[in-house]
Amino acid sequence: MATVDYVDEVLASVKAKNGNEPEFIQAVTEVLESLRPVVKKNEKLYRKNAILERITEPDRQIMFRVPWVDDKGQVQVNRGYRVQFNNSIGPYKGGLRLHPSVNLGIIKFLGFEQIFKNSLTTLPIGGGKGGSDFDPKGKSDREIMAFCQSFMTELCKYIGADVDVPAGDIGTGAREIGFMFGQYKRIRGMFEGVLTGKGLSYGGSLARTEATGYGLLYITEELMKCHGESMEGKTIAVSGAGNVAIYAIEKAQQMGAKVVTCSDSTGWIYDPEGIDVKLLKKIKEVKRARLDEYAKARKSAKYTAKKSADDHGVWSVKCDIALPCATQNELNLEDAKMLVANKVKAVCEGANMPTTLEATQFLQKKGVLFICGKASNAGGVATSALEMSQNSERLSWSFEEVDSKLKDIMVGIYHNIDDAAKKYGMEGNYVAGANIAGFMKVVDAMLAHGVC
Ligand code: NDP
Ligand code: 2IT
């Protein structure tokens, strides 16, 4: 009787155990599929030590009630999550997502991705993620504070500067981190670097706000350079209009490219003259308003409200480079076909898992240069780790110092994933390269630690 392939065996078990978590299964499938050549080479060792079973099972997943009082005096109840996935190479590290779509499967997929991403940064951070189904949209500052304080009242039992260090993600920015930090400090009676993305007056790092978007452009630039191209004069389509998208647009423009799109959950902008990033910041960071405001303020821009599934939004626009920076599975096979028909050269993910598996495979088959989020958006968490270093030594580095370290890290990640892909006979497959390179370091540590 033929023995069952180890990867197939573990994938079947993950699917059976987590059947109601499609995003988690998608993320595990992508990683395990690309690890096949590594697993084949080390099958006996990995099987004996149950490496794949252990790396796909979180160390622990914490779920809790978050009661808070709204402005009408009504008690509201949300669900809070923290999934501590793997701390083999450092304290758990990963953001907190506040969005009504949040559920355990989404937090698990994000925590799983974070293991490999954090390993790729070369810095000592493990993988974790958390959040809540709380919707920050339309809430007053007082309501946001009430939620954040209640959320941290429970979460503070499980985190710490050397244990687990949360940060921002969708719906969690400087305001939310500030309220959470204040509550942690109050309850635990200590001032420590327990969160990153903090304000500059209380231990935050310069360049953390810009880091994910800037880092995305640093790695994209290196990718293009290594394929004989520059960023100068390139047309870029960006999705999203949040933290990652805004600073991706800003850096792309500094590099001489023209970004012609952005989007939010209500619609998208096409601005053939190039996105006015100052205006975008005013609308999104200051006024917290919808994107139609952008088109009202700028003649060259056209706003299209999101209508149906066959509206391909920003992916219907002709571009050289596409940067999905909003959310998971926002770029599907039909979108990928449109991009290829429009001769896209590169797709680099700013968001986590924004491209579906089918769309990724299609783009790769068509020769589009494709870098997955765990490599291309690693600049955010890398700079969070630099924030942790600064907090530990009780010093603050200059913007230039942090930014230049970020750039070195992103260029390093590109060459690391490129080399890993080549080593396993998959030159140009940066998805496989990222998964393999991220995995090898974590497995090495897991084996050294024995059964745990
Ligand atoms: P923000 O909350 O700042 O912005 C998110 C943007 O995406 C908004 O424009 C939002 O529109 C849009 N969006 C979110 N959810 C949906 C949805 N379900 N459908 C359509 N549009 C949506 O988050 P970030 O910019 O921080 O995060 C964007 C992505 O990047 C996420 O995948 C995140 O996990 C990832 N990421 C973030 C990092 C960071 O440092 N912040 C680091 C690495 C990855 P609207 O405002 O209308 O909701
Ligand atoms: O997805 C991510 O890497 C983040 N949201 C940033 C995590 C962090 O700890 O800075």
pLDDT digits (tens, 9 = 90+) for 212-271: 999 999 999 999 999 999 999 999 999 999 999 999 999 999 999 999 999 999 999 999
> How many angstroms is it from 347 CA to the middle of ligand 2?
20
The percent of residues in the chain predicted with pLDDT above 70, rounded, is 100
* Ligand with smallest separation from the Cα of 385: 2
Query: Residue of the nearest CA to atom 20 in ligand 1?
Result: 265
Q: How confident is the model at residue 311 (pLDDT cuts 50, 70, 90)?
A: confident
* Ligand with smallest separation from the Cα of 325: 1
In the predicted model, what is the mean pLDDT of the chain? 97
Q: What is the pLDDT of residue 267?
A: 96
C-alpha–C-alpha distance, residues 175 and 181, integer Å: 10
The tens digit of pLDDT for each residue in 397-417 reads 999 999 999 999 999 999 999
User: Can you spell out the DSSP letters for 301-342?
Assistant: -EEEE---TT--GGGGS--SEEEE-S-TT-B-HHHHHHHHHT
Asked if residue 381 has its Cβ within 6 Å of ligand 2, the reply is yes
The tens digit of pLDDT for each residue in 6-63 reads 999 999 999 999 999 999 999 999 999 999 999 999 999 999 999 999 999 999 999 9
| Tokens 């308003």 sit on residue | 289
Contact status, residue 95 vs residue 129, Cβ threshold 8 Å: yes
C-alpha–C-alpha distance, residues 346 and 224, integer Å: 8
Asked if residue 383 has its Cβ within 6 Å of ligand 1, the reply is no
For the chain, report the end-to-end CA distance as a whole number of angstroms.
Answer: 32
Asked if residue 101 has its Cβ within 6 Å of ligand 1, the reply is yes
CA 205 vs. chain centroid, Å, equals: 19
Look up 299 and say whether it is catalytic.
no
**Residue 264 is inside which H or E element, if any?**
strand 258-264
Asked if residue 379 has its Cβ within 6 Å of ligand 1, the reply is no
> How many angstroms is it from 38 CA to the middle of ligand 2?
27
Asked if residue 89 has its Cβ within 6 Å of ligand 2, the reply is no
Mean per-residue pLDDT for 63-89?
Answer: 98
C-alpha–C-alpha distance, residues 246 and 193, integer Å: 26
359: number of Cβ within 10 Å: 24
* Ligand with smallest separation from the Cα of 329: 1
Q: Is residue 426 over pLDDT 80?
A: yes
C-alpha–C-alpha distance, residues 48 and 211, integer Å: 40
Q: Is residue 104 over pLDDT 80?
A: yes
Q: Is residue 351 over pLDDT 80?
A: yes
Ligand 2 atom at minimal distance to the Cα of residue 113: 1
The tens digit of pLDDT for each residue in 112-133 reads 999 999 999 999 999 999 999 9
Pick the closest to residue 354 from 197, 208, 238 (CA basis).
Answer: 238
Q: Is residue 181 over pLDDT 80?
A: yes
| Tokens 């809070």 sit on residue | 80
Total-model pTM: 0.98
Q: What is the pLDDT of residue 309?
A: 72
> How many angstroms is it from 1 CA to the middle of ligand 2?
45
Mutual angle of helices 104-120 and 378-392, in 10-degree steps:
70
Q: What is the pLDDT of residue 2?
A: 56
Name 99's Cβ contacts closer than 8 Å, sequence gap at least 6: 131, 133, 135, 170, 171
Query: Residue of the nearest CA to atom 47 in ligand 1?
Result: 265
Query: Residue of the nearest CA to atom 28 in ligand 1?
Result: 326
Catalytic residue among 129, 198, 284, 374: 129
Q: What is the pLDDT of residue 445?
A: 98
Asked if residue 242 has its Cβ within 6 Å of ligand 2, the reply is no
Number of helices followed by number of strands (H, E) in the chain: 18, 12
C-alpha–C-alpha distance, residues 81 and 62, integer Å: 6
Cα radius of gyration (the chain)? 21
Query: Residue of the nearest CA to atom 2 in ligand 1?
Result: 170
> How many angstroms is it from 377 CA to the middle of ligand 2?
9
Q: Is residue 1 over pLDDT 70?
A: no
Residue whose CB lies within 8 A of the most ligand 2 atoms, among 112, 118, 212, for a mutation test: 212
Asked if residue 93 has its Cβ within 6 Å of ligand 2, the reply is yes
> How many angstroms is it from 113 CA to the middle of ligand 2?
10
| Tokens 């004989």 sit on residue | 228
The tens digit of pLDDT for each residue in 267-298 reads 999 999 999 999 999 999 999 999 999 999 99
> How many angstroms is it from 73 CA to the middle of ligand 2?
34
Residue whose CB lies within 8 A of the most ligand 1 atoms, among 125, 208, 244, 332, for a mutation test: 244
> How many angstroms is it from 330 CA to the middle of ligand 1?
11
Q: Is residue 305 over pLDDT 60?
A: yes
